[in-house]
Amino acid sequence: MFSWLKKKESASMAKDRLTIAIMSDRESIYELPFMDNLKSEILEVVKKYVSVKAVDIKKEVEGDIEALSIDIQLNS
């Protein structure tokens, strides 16, 4: 009895897993094709003033708000 009960759930499991996987896929870099250019341009500008090690840009989504978070790591 339990075996078919378990089976019945597999489609809804698929939906739950997909929803989560796709949500994180969509936040990834592929949604922002200009990301590499943006990174290197920011790096150029900031470099004029301080010594920079790396620039990291992430898209963050919280509810209805989408934001770009820019992380600039300085050379110490």
Interface positions with another protein (CB under 8 A): 4, 7-12, 14-15, 17-19, 21-22, 25-26, 30-33
CB-nearer residue toward another protein: 1 or 65 = 1
Cα separation, 62 vs 30, whole angstroms: 19
Question: Minimal distance in Å, beta carbon 67 to another protein?
Answer: 19
Distance of CA 51 to the CA centre of its chain: 26
Question: Minimal distance in Å, beta carbon 8 to another protein?
Answer: 4
53 within 8 A of 73, measured Cβ to Cβ: yes
